[in-house]
Each structure stands twice: as C-alpha cells, then as structure tokens.
Chains A and B, each alone.
Chain A
Amino acid sequence: MSTTTLTHDDAHHHETPTGWRRWLYSTNHKDIGTLYLLFALTMLFLGGASAMVIRAELFMPGIQLVDPDLYNNLVTNHALIMIFGAVMPAAAGLANWMIPMMIGAPDMALPRMNNLSFWILPAAATMLILSFVVPFFPGGGTQINTGWTLYPPLSIQVGMSMDFLIFAIHLLGASSILASINIIVTLLNMRAPGMKLMQMPMFCWTWLVTAFLLILVVPVLAGGVTMLLFDRHFGTSFFDAAGGGDPVLFQHLFWFFGHPEVYILLLPSIGVLSHVIPTFSRKPLFGYNSMVGAMLAVATIGMVVWAHHQYTVGMSLGAVTYFMIGTIIISIPVGLMIFNFIATMWRGAMTFETPMLFAIAIILMFTFGGLSGVMLAVVPADMQYHDSMFVVAHFHYVLMPGAVFGLFAGVFYWLPKWTGHMYDERLGKIFFWTNIVGFNITFFPQHFLGLAGMPRRIIDYNVMFTEFNVLSSFGAMIFGFSHLLLLYIVISTIRGGQKAKARAWEGADGLEWELDSPPTFHTWEVAPTIK
C-alpha cells in the first residue's frame, strides 16, 4: 500500500479559510460535503413544495388550483429535483464527509475535481428550474408534460423548456461522473496502510459499487438525451417514427439508466444502515462478506432487468419472461441484506435513538415496497397495475424509506460528529414519528387507488376515488410540513447544544469516531495504521 501522507509545517495549510472563498474555492472534503448537504436540503424543500401543490390539487376531484399542463410540469420537476437535486447530492454529501475519515485518508484523491463536481450542480439546478419557469414567459413555448421519463414523441414536440432540461441532465450527469471517479480513486488508492478492501467500512463499499454503477449508466442517459436533442433540432430521427426512428429505443436507453438509478439511490442508504444498526444494537454487522456479495449481485442483476418498466410496450414473450424472472431474482440478495440487518439486531443490547428508529422503519417499509415490487415484476399483474397510482405508491415506499429515510438516519447519526453537538433527541423522535405517520397516510391509500383503477399523472379523477385522495393529501401536508422540524433540528444543532464526545454513540466503531467532534479542518494528515 503506497498511501503516504506528508506532514509539513507550511502554516497556511492548517488555517481554516474564511468568507466566501472558503466555500467557492474549497478543496476540503468536509466543506464540500457540507455544500452538497445544504444544496440537497434546499432542493428537498423545492421538490417537496411541488409535491404539496400536486397533492393539494388532488385533494378533491375536478381542477382547482393549477391547469393540466402546469400539473404535468410539476410532476416532471418534482421527480427530477428530488432524484438529481436532493437524494443524489445528499448521498454525495455524506460520502464527501465520511469516506476520507472512515478510511484514514487526509482528503479525497482529487480535491480540485471535487470542487468542480459540486459547483457544476448549482448551474445544473438553475437550468432545471428554468425548464420549469421558461414556459411562463412570452415565447417560452409549452410546458414539459412528459414526466421525468421524457418519452418521445412528446419530448420532441415540447417547447424550448425541454432543451433547458436536456442540458440540465447533461450537467448533472457530468457532476455525478466526476464525483464517482473521485470516490473510486479515493477508495482504491487512499486507504490507510493495512486496510484491505474487505476491511473497508460498509458505507465505503456501498459507495464503491454506487460509483461504478453511475459510471456505467449515466453516459447512456447522456447519449439518449443527446439523441433527443438531435431529433429536436438537427433533423435526425432516432426516436421519430415518421422519419423511420423508434420511440421505444429511447425507453430502452432511458431505463438502462433508470433502473440501476434506483440502486444508485438505495445503496448509500444501505451503507448508512450498516453502521447505524450495529451501533445501536451494540453488535458487529452480521455477515459482512455476504453483504458485500449481495450488494455486488444487486448491482449486477440490476443492470440487466431494465425493461420491466416497459412490459406494456409490446415485447416478445421471451423478452418479458426474461425480464420478469431477472427482476424477481433481485429480491434474493436484497432479502439477504434485510435478514443480515435483522440478524445484527438479534439479541443485541438495542436502544432506540432517532437514527435507529429510522433504520427499523426502513426495514419494515422498504420490505413492504419491495413486496409490491415483486407484484409489479409479474407480467400479467403489471398489465393491470401499469401507470396506475399503485406504481406511485410502490416506488415511494421503495425510495422514501430506502433512500431518503436512510439519508435522514445518516444525518442524525453523524450530525454530532459534524457539528460537535448532540441534537435534541426528543425533537428528533417527534420528527421521526410525524414523518413516518405522514408518509404512511400519504402513500398507503394510493395502493388502493391504483388497484381500483386510478391512473397516475392525471390532474382529475372520478369521484369514486375521492375519500382515499382526501386522506392521501391530508397525510402529505403532515409529511411535508414535518420537514420544517428537520430544518429546525439541524440549525439548532449547528448553533449549539450538548457537547458531543469523539465517540458520540456508545456502540459506534470505526476510524471516524477516533477523531474529535467536530473534527479539525484537516484530519488524518498522518495516516493511521490498520492492524
């Protein structure tokens, strides 16, 4: 292992920069991690606001608050902001903060590129928001009514806002790929002497796999939207049937990215859980090797089952059978991870601080979302569920617990390390319960709406769906406003509170807990040796 860290006396390297330069020019992994997390929090509220408008509109049948085009625009932007603006940057923020500290590295391998990866994001977010706003100006064209999947031919016909969106996706993809390269290089080259790959903390493993997935699939999305751009402006017909193209080709390209993207969102949270559950069970993680194997299996199989999103498009029987079986097989390694978490808790000296509450909720609700996923994987059943509110309920049960709650667990778990203060546990638990109850009231009824035949992405609905929609919208308000409490907890913890010890949690284990809370601006300038 050639990891060597120089210690040096050059004083300016040890000073904490101040003012705007600290953030704009930052090459420090902790500062860039903080920037990522603040960016993600801002986008969470933006994406959440659009969700609240959607649910307010669906509170009653008929058209009340927004027109159908704006409704579709909101649906599109909600998804894109949440996926690319909130969840992925939040996971990258955790990675930036924690990976160097966990592996005993002084910083990320390519710190300047790290700065670039982050600062591309505000530009991309501006383009993304402009794609929403531009149609409201004279000559701005029609609103984006395609949903986040951007299927042609509709996406070829939409006004100039689609061009903003395509460039936003290009920029977001570039940022993701640069960040992924940095994470992979850091994990491969910067580990402390003596730390073998199979000794890496599980959070690092999940990010290693996630980063490789990103490098494999994001360029394909970039290729797809580039072809879309060519179809729109340069006279090509990749996806235009009138010119001999094939709209279904775009669906394949999109979902070749889109399905692994689900695991890109999930895996970092699985990594967080792999630390939270052992800490609050006061036991080592059960089955480390099998967790790594399961994760690799999920990533590999997840790459080759994309077309289960397209059963209704008219594929051959052989193709749909293959995609159905492949999709169902994924439940085996995912189930293995869940059983490992349960086995870790088994006979542990468990306590139920906020991160652990989120972890347990994730196991219960993510499993529920996974089960409805198995239902959707079955071709004849999916023919009934496809494009219904059942699908909306399913993927929110997968992505909210699987990705977002995992990130919340990580924030509560590591907040004492980052800020040097313990958060208010009572407020943390109030946030957990309002969040979880609000979430379930919002999305559980949507299963029944879908099974009864309510289609998704439609502004109006039959009066027979009213009761469950009222309930769902009521839950959405609780769920949405509960995040203000998260904001309050984070701000108040940054500002003060009970001092956190270096090892903030009794059962916590790992190099990051050897450092002060908060850690100094530069850490592990002398690499620790792992025995």
Chain B
Amino acid sequence: MSEQTSELRKKNIVVALLLAAFALLVFFTSIPFWTGIFRIVGNQAGG
C-alpha cells in the first residue's frame, strides 16, 4: 500500500464518511419504509 500524506488521508476519509452518511440517509429515508412503520405503529395503537 502506498503511503499518503496525512492531509490527503484525512481528506479521503472525510469524503468517504460523507458518502457513507448519504447512503445511510437514502436507506433510512426511503419514504415507503417510514410510511409502513407509521402504519404499523398506528394499527397497533388503534388495535
């Protein structure tokens, strides 16, 4: 593995974390997913 300067390494990790956070955001905010969760919660509360 080739060495990277600490500045570049930090920059790489920051961009990677931002992208990972974005992917997680897409995963968790898939609107139907939450719609379903709320529907279940609503049904249970009502039932």
Contact = CB atoms under 8 A, between A and B. Distances in A.
Interface of A: 2-6, 8, 13, 27-28, 106-107, 109-113, 177, 180-182, 184-185, 188-190, 215-216, 218-220, 222-224, 226-227, 236-238, 244-245, 249, 252-253, 522, 525
A219 B16 contact: no
B8 A237 contact: no
B14 to A, nearest CB: 9
A496 to B, nearest CB: 30
Contact of B32 (A2, A177, A249): A249
B1 A13 contact: yes
A5 B26 contact: no
Contact of B27 (A5, A107, A180, A222): A222
Given A13-B2, A109-B12, A188-B15, A220 B20 contact: no
B2 A185 contact: no
Nearest to B13: A110
Contact of B5 (A6, A244, A522): A6
Given A2-B7, A215-B22, A245 B36 contact: yes
A219 B2 CA distance: 31
7 contacts: A13-B1, A109-B12, A177-B23, A185-B19, A215-B19, A238-B33, A522-B2
B40 A236 contact: yes
Given A6-B3, A185-B16, 14 more contacts: A5-B4, A6-B2, A13-B3, A109-B16, A177-B23, A180-B19, A181-B16, A189-B11, A215-B23, A220-B30, A223-B27, A227-B32, A252-B32, A253-B30
Nearest to B2: A106
A107 B26 CA distance: 29
A219 B26 contact: yes
B23 A236 contact: no
Contact of B33 (A182, A218, A227, A237): A227
A177 B40 CA distance: 30
A7 to B, nearest CB: 9
Given A219-B26, A227-B36, A244-B43, A28 B3 contact: no
B25 to A, nearest CB: 8
Nearest to B35: A249
Contacts of A222: 27
Residue from B4, B20, B22, B27 with most neighbouring chain A CB atoms (10 Å): B4
A111 B8 CA distance: 13
Contacts, number: 94
B8 A4 contact: yes
A529 B28 CA distance: 42
Contact of A110 (B16, B22, B30, B43): B16
A4 B16 contact: no
Contact of B26 (A180, A216, A252): A216
Nearest to A4: B5
Nearest to B9: A109
B24 interface: yes
A174 to B, nearest CB: 10
Contacts of A3: 8
A189 B20 CA distance: 16
A185 B1 contact: no
Contacts of A244: 39, 43
B12 A110 contact: yes
Given A181-B16, A181-B19, A107 B36 contact: no
A252 B33 CA distance: 12
Contacts of B2: 5-6, 13, 106-107, 522, 525
A216 B23 CA distance: 7
A219 B15 contact: no
A184 B30 contact: no
A220 B29 CA distance: 9
Given A13-B2, A109-B12, A236-B40, A219 B27 contact: yes
Contact of B16 (A5, A182, A218): A182
B30 to A, nearest CB: 4
Nearest to A26: B1
Nearest to A236: B40
A17 to B, nearest CB: 11
Nearest to B12: A109
A185 B15 contact: yes
A208 to B, nearest CB: 12
Contacts of A226: 33
A1 to B, nearest CB: 10
